[in-house]
Amino acid sequence: MKEIKSVCAQVVYKKIYDLYSDGLYGFMLYKCGDSDKAEDFVQEAFVKLWTNCSKVIYEKAKSYLYTIANNLFLDDYAHQKVVLAHRKLGVKTSTNETPEYLIEEQEFLKKLQQAIANLPEKQREVFLMNRIDKKKYREIGEELNISIKAVEKRMTLALKTLRTQIKGI
């Protein structure tokens, strides 16, 4: 019986892939301007669809794929902003800090980036939108279609997790 369900799921999945993959690729290419990244986002979205296929209604598959791919793009974009911001910080030509302090600072920044990267996706998304993009909770809630209370909860959990991980540093 499981084999029949598996075959049916594969047939439906292939149909969804054939219907939406080209359009999703075009959408992601338009958003990011990089064909390799666009392919990666599309592939990751379909992997998440396959992983969650029992939870996704067939009629909502297109919306699910576009939302996942868009969120992947936003996460990548926020990550690139963090990388660029840290590169700008490293441009100093002279400093009063000791070499030991500079090394500790670099190690701290690496650990902070790792801690942010380890946050659950929804918490990281809210944290980066607030702290990097400087968006207010209301704006984040509107963009993500969630309540302000949900944004506050995610931010609280993200900050608590970061504090716990950074205390260990």
Using CB atoms within 10 A of its CB, is residue 134 exposed (0-12), middle (13-18) or buried (19+)? Answer: exposed
Spatial contact of 144 and 121, defined as CB atoms under 8 Å apart: no
Query: What CATH number corresponds to the domain at position 1?
Result: 1.10.1740
Looking at residue 1, the DSSP 8-state letter turns out to be -
What's the domain range around 53?
1-71
Domains in the chain: how many in total? 2
Closest Cα partner for 29 from 42, 19, 18?
42
CA distance linking residue 3 with residue 20, whole number of Å: 26
pLDDT tens per residue across span 29-88: 888 888 898 899 999 999 998 888 778 888 888 999 999 999 998 888 888 888 888 877
Residue 53 lies in a domain: yes
The residue behind tokens 């650990």 is: 111
What does pTM read for this prediction? Answer: 0.49
